[in-house]
Amino acid sequence: RINDLNEDFCGMDVNTPLGGEQPVEGLAILTFPTRLTAVAATSTEVYTVVFLGTAEGHLKKVVIENQNNALEYDDIVVDQDSPVRQDMYFDKAGDHLYVMTSNKLTNNMES
């Protein structure tokens, strides 16, 4: 049961807490030595592409190839040493991602 929500809970309006009796289990297919602060994902014809914001102000681009394999294919410095905020959004066409830190807003991140 989720009783308390704090600032670490994703702030998007569409997210609601989920609870249950049985845990969801899985294995990590990719790990990072840094704290991830934001997640956005989209689908292509073949793959799922995930955008991960970091506490150091980077945006990592990851392709999920299958349930056992993922590959980081790009690391973009958005705003060095300023954490990427949790709310990242795609434009209506899904071509660009809006990424924000406490000092900067950019939408030139092509998906």
Q: List, for residues 39-83, the tens digit of each pLDDT value.
A: 999 998 888 999 999 999 999 999 999 989 999 999 999 999 999
**Residues 28, 32, 38: CA angle, nearest 5 degrees:** 90
Is 40:109 a contact under the CB 8 Å cutoff? no
pLDDT at residue 56 in the model? 98
The three-point CA angle 52-1-37 to 5° equals 15
Please determine, for residue 15, whether its predicted confidence score (pLDDT) is greater than 70. no
Q: What is the pTM of this model?
A: 0.77
Tokens of 60: 């990592």
Q: Residue 1: which pLDDT band, with cuts at 50, 70 and 90?
A: very low
- Rounded CA Rg of the chain: 15
